[in-house]
Amino acid sequence: MSLVKAKKHLGQHFLTDKNIALKICTALLIDSEQRNVLEVGPGMGILSDILLEIKDFKTYLIDIDTESIDYLKKKYPDYTDQIIEGDFLKFNFNTYFKSQVAIIGNFPYNISTQILFRVLEEREKVDIVVGMFQKEVAERIAAKAGNKTYGILSVLLQAYYKIEYLFTVNPSVFNPPPKVKSAVIRLTRLRTIIPDCDEKLFLQIVKAGFNQRRKTLRNALSAHLNSGTKQNPILDLRAEALNPEQFIELTKFLSIGKE
C-alpha cells in the first residue's frame, strides 16, 4: 500500500514512534471495563494498530481525509464497519454509541481546541480523552488559576474533567516534524452537570471574564451585575485568579441576584 501524504491544510503530523504510540494507548487502560473507543485522525494507524488489538476495546476510527480512509480500509479489512469517513466536529455520537465512549488521538493541531469544545458538548457520552496536542495548548488546558496561560478552556474543561499532563513529545518523532513540541494529556470526567448551577450563565461568565482579562471582574462582568450583586469582594479580582469552583460559586451568586 502506498503511504498517506500528510496534508498541511488538515494539520496532519503523523506520529512515527511506536513506543510513544504505546504510551498513549496505555493511558486509556485506567480501568478494566469493556469500552467503546473513538480514535480521531488515525492517519496511517500507528495508534490503531495497538487499539484494535486490545480485546476490551471496540475501537472506531474517524478521519476526514479520504486518502487516509482508503488506506485504513485496506490495512484493516476486518474492521471496515468501524472506519468512519467524516468530520469529528460534526459527528453524531448517538449514531454509533449508545453508552460511554473514550476519545483518543494524535489530534490535528489546527482543530485541537475545537475538538475539546466538542468533547464538552458531548460530556454525557465522553468519559475519557487521551490526546496529543501542541505543548502550549496542553499546558493551557492543564493550567491552574493564577497562571498566565490559564483561560476559558482551562476553566470549562476543569469544571467537568480531571486534567493530567502526562508527557512531552519532541518534534523528531513526527512526519513531517511540527515546529513546536507536543504533549499528551488525559481528561477523566468528574461530572456531566454542575448541580444547582445555570450552566449557560456559567459559560457566559467565564467567557466575559477572560475576554477582558486585564480588567477586574467587576468591570468585565458589568452586564451581569446589579445593585444587589456588585458588592461581592470576589469581583475585585481578575478572571485568572479564580479556580473553576470559584467561577461556579460566582455564577450561583449572580444567578440568585437576578431573581
Is the peptide bond preceding residue 176 cis, with omega within 30 degrees of 0? yes
**How high is the pLDDT of residue 125?**
96
Query: Chain-centre distance of CA 70, in angstroms?
Result: 27
Residue 22, CA distances (Å) to 12, 26, 56, 208 in order: 19, 6, 16, 40
**How high is the pLDDT of residue 8?**
86
User: Do 161 and 104 touch, CB atoms closer than 8 A?
Assistant: no
Other CB atoms within a 10 A radius of the CB of residue 19 amount to 8
**How high is the pLDDT of residue 2?**
64
Coil, helix or strand for 161? strand
Q: Which residues of the chain have pLDDT under 50?
A: none
Query: Chain-centre distance of CA 244, in angstroms?
Result: 17
| 138: enclosing H helix or E strand | helix 135-142
Nearest to 34 by CA among 52, 50, 57: 57
Angle at 211 between CA 205 and CA 216, to 5 degrees: 75
Q: What span, in angstroms and rounded, lies between the C-alpha atoms of 35 and 56? A: 6
Q: What span, in angstroms and rounded, lies between the C-alpha atoms of 254 and 144? A: 23
**How high is the pLDDT of residue 32?**
58
Q: How big, in percent rounded to 5, are the helix, strand and coil portions of the chain?
A: 45, 20, 35
The domains of the chain, with CATH numbers, are 8-189 (3.40.50.150), 199-258 (1.10.8.100)
